[in-house]
Structure 1
Amino acid sequence: MERSHGTPRPMHLLIVEYTGTEQAAEPYFRDHAAYLDRHHRAGTFLVSGQTVPTELGGAIVAHGVDRAEIERITSEDPFVQAGVATYRIVTIAPGRSHPVLKPLL
């Protein structure tokens, strides 16, 4: 799906990976949850959750911002600032999608 001017809106798959143990990140869970809530309310984060198994970290689907902006946003995560997690960012130029996603693309 494309926007009216023909350029697909990028989406980003954000993989949150603990740098140590899940227990090392526990003191920052509340601040990380507030960070997630803020970006969900802003409409940038569409889906977020822990991986299965949880000790791997988490994943977020984001949209509506370019690569530079998502890099800035992820650098503000309290997990990143505390050094207990890093992000792997995969930017996607949507090609095929389910019709329910059309308004987002």
Structure 2
Amino acid sequence: MFVVLLRFSANKGAAGQHMPGHQEWIKRGVDDGVFLLAGSIQPGLGGAIVAHGTSREDLEGRVAADPFVAEDIVSAEIIEIAPWQADDRLKFLLA
């Protein structure tokens, strides 16, 4: 399981121009079953994604394809989590 942090860079002002492509990229990740959750880092610092069921290598390629990453609107950090305990509603993450 991974957490992807997308923190705004100095080029944040270009976000509106690339927002449709970024939103489509997120939708594709959700539709593919890789992104479980996506949202904003408050207050307005960027975004975060929880990803599951993929390899780090594949996720790195997917993240590089985000228009926000490609256009240096955000910097991406991928954090790998090895879960060992979860609430019953999230037990599927332990597999």
TM-score relative to the length of structure 1: 0.83
Deviation at 1:23, TM superposition (A): 2.6
Instruction: Indicate the residue corresponding to 2:7 in structure 1.
Output: 17
One-letter identity of the residue aligned with 1:43: G
- Do 1:18 and 1:25's aligned partners in 2 also have CA atoms closer than 8 Å? no
Q: Is the 8 A contact 2:5 2:49 kept in 1?
A: yes
- Give 5+ residue unaligned stretches, structure 2: none
Partner residue in 1 for 2:91: 102
| Secondary structure in structure 1 of the residue aligned to 2:37 | strand
1:97 to partner: Cα distance? 0.8
Asked if structure 1 preserves the Cα contact closer than 8 Å seen for 2:64 and 2:70, the reply is yes
**Among candidates 6, 13, 18, match of residue 28 of structure 1:** 18
- Residue 69 of structure 1 corresponds to 58
Deviation at 1:66, TM superposition (A): 1.2
Decide whether the 8 Å contact of 2:22 with 2:67 is kept in 1: yes
Whole-Å Cα distance in 2 between the matches of residues 94 and 66 of structure 1?
Answer: 15
Deviation at 1:24, TM superposition (A): 2.5
Displacement of 1:29 in angstroms is 0.8
The SS at the match of 2:58 is helix
CA root-mean-square deviation? 1.2
Equivalence map 1:35-54=2 (5 Å): 35-54=25-44
Cα separation, 2, equivalents of 1:80 and 1:22: 11
Pick one of 47, 68, 82 that aligns with 1:58: 47
Which secondary structure state, in structure 2, belongs to the residue aligned with residue 87 of structure 1? strand
